[in-house]
Structure 1
Amino acid sequence: MSKAFIAAVLQDSLACTGVAATKAADDLVGAIVAELKQEGGFTLPSFGTFTVHKTKARKALNPRTGEPVKVKAGKTVRFKASPVLKKAV
């Protein structure tokens, strides 16, 4: 799924212009990202929950050379589907 797909669905559903639908899709994605940054999670009822998890620093191997590489600690987003979504799929 892409922003263009979301914008197309919004445009068909709301019967608005493509520019307005694209702006709405950008605002929606921006709001979700801001909520993840601020609160560390985001829930869409009947769809699922997005949560931010911290990853530890670790050593990995470069697949081309086989040399060890240090990977910094960071953050990643995880998604857990709701039971309604699981049942629908």
Structure 2
Amino acid sequence: MSKAFISQIIQESTDCTGVTANQAAGDLIAAIVKELKTTGGFTLPSFGTFTVRKTKARKALNPRTGEPVKVKAGKTVRFKASPNLKKAV
């Protein structure tokens, strides 16, 4: 799914211009990102839950050279599908 896909769906369902739909899609994505940053989670009912999790620093291997590489601690976003989404798919 892309921003263009989301804006196309918004445009078709609301009969607005492409520019307005693109701006609405951008605002929607920005609101989701802001919610993830502030609360660490976001839930779309009947779709699923996004959560932010911390990752620990670790050692990994460079696949090309096989050399060990240090990977810094960071954050990642996880998604858990709702039972309704699992049934539908």
TM-score by length of 2: 0.99
Structure 1 counterpart of 2:2? 2
Q: Aligned partner of 1:35: which letter?
A: E
Q: Report the CA distance between 1:19 and its aligned residue.
A: 0.1
Distance in 1 between residues matched to 2:8 and 2:21, nearest whole Å: 7
Q: Which runs of 5+ in 1 are unaligned?
A: none
Q: Does 1:71 align with 2:71?
A: yes
Aligned length in residues: 89
Structure 2 counterpart of 1:52? 52
Q: Aligned partner of 2:38: which letter?
A: Q
Q: 3-state SS of the aligned residue for 1:52? A: strand
Structure 1 counterpart of 2:81? 81
Distance in 1 between residues matched to 2:65 and 2:7, nearest whole Å: 43
Q: 3-state SS of the aligned residue for 2:37? A: helix
Q: Does 1:41 align with 2:41?
A: yes
Aligned CA RMSD, in angstroms, stands at 0.3
Q: 3-state SS of the aligned residue for 2:46? A: coil
Q: Report the CA distance between 1:23 and its aligned residue.
A: 0.2
Per-residue displacement from partner, 1:23-62 (whole Å, max 9, x unpaired)? Answer: 0000000000000000000000000000000000000001
TM-score by length of 1: 0.99
Q: Percent identity?
A: 80
Q: Which runs of 5+ in 2 are unaligned?
A: none
Spell out structure 1 runs of 4+ moving beyond 4 A: none
